[in-house]
């Protein structure tokens, strides 16, 4: 199979707040960016862990929620048309004879650029997996840990597992199109917003969604395709629930993953950088935000923003030594304003 190769100026691994601001800073210098993230949307920790919580220490924003901050960062970088490659991990990195870096993702996408930026936070968010017997037999074919395309579930019988926001939100979103949804959660209480919880309970009361308090004890099916799951309820009753797709939403864990194997200097799972440039010990590879470390490092969004600005200037000079760099104030520099489209 031919794989389409993407060539760009800067590949950013991680679309958290710091990766998103790097797009803006790179754009001011005329650099194009592609971003790779394991998650299915931008925002990193802000949107994954605390979308509705207010942040109080972003300069000039007395109070902004994680989601609002990310929405505004996306808006700010939109003139520079970043390209996102979601739902895939940055897996393998090698240097080409022309000194460019080639990155291959877990979905087999191939990206090439002279500049690699690790804005990978604490690492990839990976789903916590349940420990059902024969789980791996059904994974990929009929067990999904994230919803990539909703229409896949149209007219299907779904079993969703979990009691947090993701589980309840997907019950609510998929209910109108699925043939049937059963939610399985090990206890009666939920860890979700009161709004999602009350909408879910309404659907259960109307008989539109089934809810079992209990645990899955067996997966039944053939050739990786599920037919049903066996559930033991809290009262010890055994239910056979018909199931085309099983969707466990049990939370996420964080791991630095393949990046830790790329031969970069690490200090307790963080990448050491030169604070003049935010370069790692390998030419052309930079690290900013929570993933990088240096003696005075403060792990905050605002420090990541500063690191992004310094890194963009330094990496431009490294990768494009013959190009004139447009620097200046956004208030007064007309070349920069043209790039911004203002």
Which residue ranges make up the site for ligand FAD (CB under 6 A)? Answer: 13-19, 36-39, 44-46, 49-50, 55, 57, 89-90, 119-125, 257-259, 289-290, 299-302, 304
CB of 43 to ligand FAD, least distance (A): 7
Per-residue tokens: 158: 């779904």
The terminus-to-terminus CA distance of the chain in angstroms comes to 43
**Nearest Cα to Cα of residue 230 among 212, 248, 247:** 212
DSSP state of 244: S
Question: What are the phi and psi torsion angles at 2 (to 5°)?
Answer: -80, 130
Task: Report in angstroms how near the CB of residue 20 gets to ligand FAD at its nearest.
Answer: 7
Kind of pairing between the strands at 252-255 and 245-248: unpaired
What sign for the dihedral angle of Cα 137, 143, 149, 151?
A: positive
For residue 278, the minimal CB distance to ligand FAD (Å) is 12
Answer yes or no: are the C-beta atoms of 102 and 94 closer than 8 Å: yes
Cα dihedral sign for 277, 109, 100, 337? negative
* Shortest spacing between CB 285 and ligand FAD, in angstroms: 13
**Nearest-CB residue for ligand FAD:** 121
Q: How far is the CB of 217 from ligand FAD (least distance, A)?
A: 32
- State how far the Cα of 66 lies from the Cα of 76, in Å rounded to an integer: 15
Radius of gyration of the chain (CA): 23
In this complex, which beta carbon is closest to ligand FAD, that of residue 164 or of residue 224?
164
Q: How far apart are CA 273 and CA 292, in angstroms?
A: 6
Residue 23 Cβ, how far from ligand FAD at the closest point, in Å? 11
Tell me the pairing of strands 64-65 and 54-55: antiparallel
Supply the minimum distance, in Å, between the C-beta of residue 66 and ligand FAD: 7
Question: Is the distance from CB of 70 to CB of 46 less than 8 angstroms?
Answer: yes
- The residue whose two tokens read 């960062």 is 73
State how far the Cα of 231 lies from the Cα of 109, in Å rounded to an integer.
39
Of the pair 146, 177, the CB lying nearest ligand FAD is at: 146
Q: In terms of CB distance, is 248 or 304 closer to ligand FAD?
A: 304
- When the beta carbons of 65 and 175 are compared against ligand FAD, the nearer one is 65
Question: 328-331: which pairs have CB atoms within 8 A and are 24 or more residues apart?
Answer: 330/28
To ligand FAD, the closest distance from the beta carbon of 318 in angstroms equals 21
């Amino acid at each position: 199979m031919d794989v389409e190769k993407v060539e760009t100026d800067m590949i950013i691994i991680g679309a958290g707040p710091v990766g998103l601001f790097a797009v803006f800073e790179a754009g001011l210098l005329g650099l194009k960016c592609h971003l790779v993230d394991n998650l299915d949307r931008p925002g990193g920790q802000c949107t994954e862990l605390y979308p509705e919580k207010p942040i109080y220490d972003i300069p000039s924003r007395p109070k902004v929620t994680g989601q609002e901050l990310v929405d505004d960062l996306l808006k700010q970088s939109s003139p520079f048309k970043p390209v996102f490659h979601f739902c895939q991990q940055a897996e393998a990195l090698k240097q080409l004879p022309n000194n460019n870096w080639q990155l291959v993702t877990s979905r087999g996408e191939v990206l090439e650029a002279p500049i690699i930026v690790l804005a990978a936070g604490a690492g990839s968010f990976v789903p916590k997996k349940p420990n059902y017997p024969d789980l791996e037999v059904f994974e990929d074919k009929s067990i999904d840990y994230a919803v990539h395309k909703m229409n896949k579930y149209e007219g299907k019988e779904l079993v969703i597992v979990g009691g947090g926001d993701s589980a309840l939100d997907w019950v609510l979103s998929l209910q109108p199109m699925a043939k049937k949804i059963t939610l399985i959660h090990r206890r009666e209480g939920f860890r979700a917003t009161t709004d999602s919880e009350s909408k879910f309970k309404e659907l259960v009361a109307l008989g539109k969604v089934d809810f079992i308090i209990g645990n899955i004890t067996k997966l039944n099916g053939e050739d990786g395709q599920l037919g049903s799951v066996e559930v033991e309820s809290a009262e010890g009753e055994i239910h056979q629930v018909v199931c085309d797709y099983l969707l466990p939403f049990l939370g996420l864990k964080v791991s630095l993953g393949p990046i830790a194997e790329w031969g970069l200097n690490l200090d307790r799972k963080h990448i050491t950088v030169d604070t003049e440039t935010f370069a790692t010990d390998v030419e052309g590879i930079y690290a900013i935000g929570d993933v990088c470390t240096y003696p005075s490092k403060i792990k905050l969004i605002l420090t990541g923003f500063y690191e992004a600005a310094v890194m963009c200037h330094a990496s431009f000079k490294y990768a494009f030594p013959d190009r004139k760099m447009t620097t200046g104030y956004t208030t007064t520099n007309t070349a920069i304003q043209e790039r911004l489209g203002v």
